[in-house]
């Protein structure tokens, strides 16, 4: 695992974006996993700037979103799918036919998860997964203690995540307590990010569950 410590938010966002851009340039048809959250917002702004000023080309990538709240989908602005679309997918030249979401409004979420794993397998696996690492070290909806061999599945949403999303959903009561999430095993290689106060502690909590091909950025 390669850990890179940056000194300020702008540098942090830029270094993360450069790692992702290098992957896209080296393999234009990369299969990428995308996460939402406060940490990744600045990274996506940098990727958008690279697309506009440097011609970073997203047209051949295949994208898989990392997780989703049960019952929330593209028509809900608080959903991961809607936020990912607003922050990046709709603003670059990504092919809509190559963007994959988990439909958490479907009646059988276990089937949604197994089908999602199969789509990832058919795409050749994730080349690079973009992650934000939670304050307690959680990765997607995988809380500390989630098994390394876990795959995409239905999970309980952690209380810290519920509290952090209360304003976005309108109230604490409206935040879904279930979600669908890629597992630790599904992500072969990732760029993990944790910015701000507590970044080192969160990163430390996540390290033992990280895949070996991992580059993690944290802010002082």
Q: Is 100 a catalytic residue?
A: no
Cα Rg of the chain (Å, integer): 16
Confirm whether 19 is a catalytic residue.
Answer: no
User: Annotated catalytic residue: which of 19, 68, 127, 143?
Assistant: 143
| CA 18 – CA 14 distance, rounded (Å) | 6
Known active-site residue 143: yes
- 67 DSSP β-pair partners: 181
Task: Give the span between the Cα atoms of 57 and 202, in whole angstroms.
Answer: 32
128-132/99-100 β-pairing: unpaired
- Residues pairing with 68 in the sheet: 180
Catalytic annotation present for 67: yes
Q: Which of 100, 103, 136, 200 is catalytic?
A: 136
- Which listed residue (46, 127, 138, 142) is catalytic? 138
Q: Which of 46, 67, 68, 127 is catalytic?
A: 67
Helix axes 38-54, 80-87, angle to 10 degrees: 30
Active site residues: 67, 136, 138, 143
């Amino acid at each position: 695992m390669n850990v890179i410590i940056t000194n300020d938010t702008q540098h942090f966002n830029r270094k993360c974006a450069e790692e992702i851009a290098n992957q896209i340039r080296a393999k234009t048809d990369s299969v990428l996993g995308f996460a939402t959250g406060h940490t990744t917002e600045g990274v996506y702004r940098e990727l958008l700037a690279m697309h506009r000023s440097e011609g970073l080309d997203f047209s051949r990538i295949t994208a898989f979103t990392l997780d989703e709240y049960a019952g929330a989908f593209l028509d809900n602005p608080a959903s991961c799918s809607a936020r990912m679309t607003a922050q990046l997918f709709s603003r670059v030249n990504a092919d809509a036919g190559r963007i994959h979401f988990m439909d958490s409004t479907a009646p059988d979420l276990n089937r949604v998860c197994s089908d999602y794993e199969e789509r990832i397998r058919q795409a050749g696996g994730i080349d690079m997964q973009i992650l934000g690492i939670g304050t307690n070290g959680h990765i997607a909806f995988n809380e500390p203690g989630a098994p390394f061999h876990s795959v995409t599945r239905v999970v309980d949403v952690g209380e810290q995540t519920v509290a952090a999303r209360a304003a976005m959903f309108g109230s604490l009561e409206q935040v879904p307590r279930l979600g669908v999430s890629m597992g630790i095993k599904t992500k072969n290689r990732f760029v993990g990010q944790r910015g701000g106060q507590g970044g080192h502690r969160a990163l430390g909590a996540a390290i033992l569950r990280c895949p070996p091909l991992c580059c993690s950025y944290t802010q002082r």
